[in-house]
Amino acid sequence: MSRALDPPPPDPTPARPNVTTVYQAHGDFLWVTLQRLGVRDADRDDVLQEVLVVVHRRLHTFDGRGPMAAWLFGVCFRVAAAHRRRAYVRREQLWGSVPEDPRRPDIRPTLRRH
């Protein structure tokens, strides 16, 4: 028997997932989680992208002791909370002055007489 035909020994450290494999395996879970956390349909794509950016930055901290879905839920929870805080802070901007009601009489002449 030749040693060249023997399979290589298994790698003792499993390959770390990257953000692409996480998205492929858990994308639907992330989408539904953001929906259940109250992220509006119109904002969900943007918030999901923020989640994936955080996953990309923090994936090295996932130690594998618990399920990946639990770790991802925590990321979704924090990103959705930050999104809600930013949405609450947004202010309405006025683009002009409010027109006077034409049916209301002008009281300035009366005030000048007194």
The enclosing domain of 37 has a CATH number of 1.10.1740.10
In a domain, 59, yes or no: yes
In a domain, 22, yes or no: yes
Which of 19-23, 62-66, 97-101 reaches the highest mean pLDDT? 19-23
Distance between CA atoms of residues 17 and 19, nearest Å? 7
In a domain, 3, yes or no: no
Between residues 29 and 7, which one has the greater pLDDT? 29
In a domain, 96, yes or no: no
What is the pLDDT at residue 12?
58
Q: Report the number of distinct structural domains present in the chain.
A: 1
| Residue 59 CB burial class (10 angstroms; 0-12, 13-18, ≥19) | middle
What is the pLDDT at residue 17?
85
Q: How far is C-alpha 48 from the chain's CA centre?
A: 5
In a domain, 53, yes or no: yes
Identify the residue whose tokens are 């009489």: 105
State pLDDT tens for residues 50-94: 999 999 999 999 988 999 999 999 999 999 999 998 876 556 566
Q: Are 105 and 55 in contact (CB under 8 A)?
A: no
Residues 6+ apart with CB under 8 A from 55: 19, 22, 72, 75
In a domain, 51, yes or no: yes
What is the pLDDT at residue 114?
64
Distance between CA atoms of residues 81 and 75, nearest Å? 10
Q: Which structural domain, as residue segments, surrounds residue 35?
A: 16-88
In a domain, 49, yes or no: yes
State pLDDT tens for residues 81-92: 999 988 765 565
Token pair of 91, please? 């202010």
In a domain, 26, yes or no: yes
Q: Could you tell me what percent of the chain has a pLDDT over 90?
A: 55
What is the pLDDT at residue 39?
94
State pLDDT tens for residues 24-36: 999 999 999 999 9
